[in-house]
Amino acid sequence: MARDHALCLTLGLREGVLRLYQWERPTISFGRNEPAKGLYREDKAEEEGVGFVRRPTGGRAVLHHEELTYALVFPVGAFSGLKRAYRRINQGLLMGLERLGAEVELASPDGPSLRPDAGPCFRQPAEGEVTALGRKLVGSAQVRMGASVLQHGSIILDGDQGLLQGLRCDGGSVPPPATLRAALGSVPSLPRLRRSLVAALEATLGGEWGEGSYTKDEKMAEARLLAHYEDQEWTWRY
């Protein structure tokens, strides 16, 4: 989270950054303003080896396990508005998954606008999110930081997010999300998935693309932000 935040703060003029990554252990991330305090069994999470963190972006709780996380940073004015940017990015993700053979679509504009306290992210899709088999496959959220925007998202490869629900104090059942395994019959290799997503986003968003390494400024900003995202008061602030 500190690294994605740092990329947003240090973004150069007319630049953008795409980062694709996985997590070292199962981790539940909360949306920036999502209620979490007292809603999760922290003792059981520790026994299960599950960590908690709060994202800089909005949205609702996601279990980062058997999934691929994307972070896309871009200037505020790059796509004529944040809502248009959100839709363009999701269209690129849709194209990348279609190229792998998945039958996917964007959730209807008539879909619900979900509150931060509406429960886990993959409970139901919001407008414009990528779905498969009638269920959410990619959950996404944005935040504006000055002249830059960070859009985060989680692409479910396998599993049912059941561990997240099992750690909630309120219990109850939630329909499982769509997965790439269900949509394709198997989980594609990560290099193949990354290549397909990058090519589709490049075609959809335009611009000149190339691989890069983290700059000194990005690393310094990440180091400054690390304590903030490790702070339990931030993680459990709501």
Give catalytic residue positions.
121
- Measured between alpha carbons, how far is 7 from 74 in angstroms, rounded to an integer? 10
Cβ atoms of 225 and 5 within 8 Å: the answer is: yes
Question: For residue 164, how many other CB atoms are within 10 A of its CB?
Answer: 24
How many Cα atoms occupy the beta-carbon half-sphere of 162 within 13 Å? 5
DSSP alpha helix (H) spans, 100-157:
none
Are the CB atoms for 111 and 203 separated by under 8 Å? no
What residues contact residue 70 under an 8 Å CB cut-off, 6+ apart? Answer: 18, 19, 20, 93, 152, 153, 154, 155, 197
- Residue 126: Cβ within 10 Å count: 19
Would residue 87 be called left, alpha or beta, if left means φ above 0 and alpha means ψ between -120 and 50 degrees? alpha
Residue 87 to residue 32: CA distance in whole angstroms: 21
What tokens were used for 26? 């199962």
Q: Which of 153, 17, 176, 14 is closest to 93 using CA atoms?
A: 153
